[in-house]
Structure 1
């Protein structure tokens, strides 16, 4: 009786809540660390290839097969990580995330060459500010963002379909509308994903397990989600406000 009572005292309840909060913060810290590493690799590779375009990008452009591999391989990496998550180990997932971010850097170098450096930098800072605000909102809000997340996912599917259609139409007006909606969708997804990752972190037990999955693997996939939110938000802003060379 005394033991059962002691485990239900306010002090013990607060202690358990504090431990849950600590594990959640540690999990999110790992997620953001992996994300920043991936973004750093993308930025460095993009800058290096853009600065040496004649030596590095010209051979890619001249070889159609190599060009399409560079452009579409990142999508393959995302699909592989998503659908083979349970069969892949944490080190393999991390390697795929780093390779994916490097390939994205090559793709981004083509995009950056089309815009002035000042507009790229300005859109990056804007995206970082918007991402940070929405990440804090997602972490601190008490409101359940699940419904909003579903709406944002529906919007994302609509954007993908519209982008495919516009691939053939090549309409500047439709492209502008897609980019505007994209900014809304990816800002919303940022808040939703951060809240979802916070709840995942709160579910980690004292042994570091959660839902039968490797916590490190979940952190890597969480980093991938936030990485995608950020780069897509950045690209949408660049298409809206970037000044072309």
Structure 2
């Protein structure tokens, strides 16, 4: 048991752990975002094949984090850092494409993402209603969205890209609310790296969906 909380009233100790979890998680999100930016910069001139390999490696680090979180906090944090760097390399071709064809869309998407995450994150953190069922619904909807994405590759649907992006934003609004509620309800400080990875993925996906929307709007 952590001696820091050993002689404190149970309610205060739980609140302290929750506050610590929030601070550490958001700190990890910030560092992961910085490493993502570094990875995107390093991968800006790399071929698409390297980006794909980086994507697979980033996915592997997420799986590895699930196994390391209860064994070694340092290893989990290291895997989170590697994930941020690798996913930055994997996303670099997309960012380079938008920077070259429509740089305004990057700024618009970044601003919209910040406001979107702040609004739904605050709503999820403040609500007292259990959002576990919402997370399950969002997961099923995400699977359906992936199927729709495959269909759109082969079938031309009017406004298909816009519909896909709006649906994606709705789904990840639910995920953001759920993840921020977990920040308020959990007292497991060791879970901070996993929560940070989840929130970072929420932010990244929202950003990419907004990119598709603003790219279409700027044409």
TM-score normalised by L of structure 2: 0.83
Q: Say whether the 8 Å CA contact 2:124–2:178 is kept in structure 1.
A: yes
Change (3 A) 1:102 1:147: same
Q: Aligned residue pairs: how many?
A: 208
Matched, 1:17 2:11: yes
| 1: CA distance, partners of 2:158 / 2:30 | 32
Match of 1:232 in 2: 205
Q: After the TM superposition, which residues 1-245 of structure 1 pair with which residues of structure 2 at under 5 Å, given as runs?
A: 15-50=9-44, 53=45, 57=46, 60-61=47-48, 64=49, 66-82=50-66, 84-85=67-68, 88-115=71-98, 116-169=102-155, 173-201=159-187, 204=188, 215-216=189-190, 218-242=191-215
For the residue of structure 1 that corresponds to 2:128, the secondary structure is coil
Which is higher, the Rg of structure 1 or of structure 2?
1
For the residue of structure 2 that corresponds to 1:114, the secondary structure is helix
| 2: CA distance, partners of 1:194 / 1:141 | 10
For the residue of structure 1 that corresponds to 2:97, the secondary structure is coil
Change (3 A) 1:172 1:238: farther
| 2: CA distance, partners of 1:226 / 1:107 | 18
Change (3 A) 1:169 1:71: farther
Shift of 1:97: 1.1
| 1: CA distance, partners of 2:55 / 2:162 | 22
Q: Say whether the 8 Å CA contact 2:36–2:87 is kept in structure 1.
A: yes
TM-score normalised by L of structure 1: 0.75
| 2: CA distance, partners of 1:150 / 1:28 | 23
Shift of 1:146: 2.1
Structure 1: gaps (5+ residues)? 1-13, 205-214
Shift of 1:162: 2.2
> Which stretch shows the higher mean deviation, 17-26 or 219-228?
17-26
For the residue of structure 1 that corresponds to 2:195, the secondary structure is helix
Shift of 1:15: 4.9
